[in-house]
């Protein structure tokens, strides 16, 4: 098991500069990370920086609140794919979920998945704001909408990934979707335990120190 092949090396800071993104890409190349994860405005630069490598580019959509219109999220996803993104990490509409507007949540995920075709879609459910029942519901809606992954967190909420949340997500989705643990994964021991629990991808800004 190569830990680096589980890592989405991430910089989603609003203050990230072009130099920061180039550094992120260089670190991904040095350590052989599976992917990088950036805001949409940096996708073109990342594509240029990672030219002639097999490192994937993930772009976040509706980030970090998930509260913009579905039409805006779909446009943003398509735009990022057009600029070179291989994967989309979208934030669900938490207010809709908490209002019981389950069809709206599912339809939004489905619309984005259909818009990006065979590209990977990860659905961020932002577990820190949800009850266990809501977490299960969000995971089931993502599966119903044919998402490829469910993801714990943006890293910008009140808490990131937890072992208990990953266990709950794994119980809920089974083999119907993969799981990405993200937010607060800062050491190798924690990362390896998430993999033991069944995650297929780890989102972290601490990739180089995890490998060392």
Q: Is 174 exposed, middle or buried (0-12, 13-18, 19+ CB in 10 A)?
A: exposed
Contact 151, 203 (CB under 8 A): yes
Catalytic residue among 8, 86, 89, 148: 89
Contact 162, 130 (CB under 8 A): no
Catalytic residue among 56, 122, 137, 180: 180
Contact 175, 148 (CB under 8 A): no
Query: Does 180 participate in catalysis according to the annotation?
Result: yes
Catalytic residue among 151, 165, 170, 178: 151
Query: Does 151 participate in catalysis according to the annotation?
Result: yes
3-state secondary structure of 161: coil
Which residue bears the tokens 């060392």?
A: 212
**Which residues are the active-site residues?**
89, 151, 180
């Amino acid at each position: 098991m190569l830990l680096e092949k589980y890592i989405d090396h991430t910089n989603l800071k609003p203050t990230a500069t072009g130099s920061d993104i180039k550094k992120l890409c260089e670190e991904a190349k040095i350590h052989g990370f599976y992917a990088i994860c950036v805001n949409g405005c940096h996708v073109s630069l990342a594509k240029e920086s990672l030219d002639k490598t097999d490192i994937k580019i993930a772009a976040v959509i509706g980030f970090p609140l998930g509260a913009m219109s579905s039409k805006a999220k779909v446009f943003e996803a398509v735009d990022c794919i057009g600029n070179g993104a291989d994967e989309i990490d979208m934030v669900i509409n938490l207010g809709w979920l908490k209002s019981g507007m389950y069809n709206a949540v599912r339809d939004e995920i489905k619309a984005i998945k259909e818009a990006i075709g065979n590209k990977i879609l990860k659905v961020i459910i932002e577990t820190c704001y949800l009850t266990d029942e809501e977490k299960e519901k969000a995971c089931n809606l993502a599966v119903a909408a044919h998402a490829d992954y469910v993801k714990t967190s943006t890293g910008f909420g009140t808490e990131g990934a937890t072992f208990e949340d990953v266990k709950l997500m794994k119980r809920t989705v089974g083999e119907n979707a993969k799981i990405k643990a993200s937010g607060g994964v800062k050491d190798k021991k924690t990362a390896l335990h998430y993999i033991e629990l069944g995650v297929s991808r780890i989102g972290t800004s601490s990739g180089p120190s995890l490998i060392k």
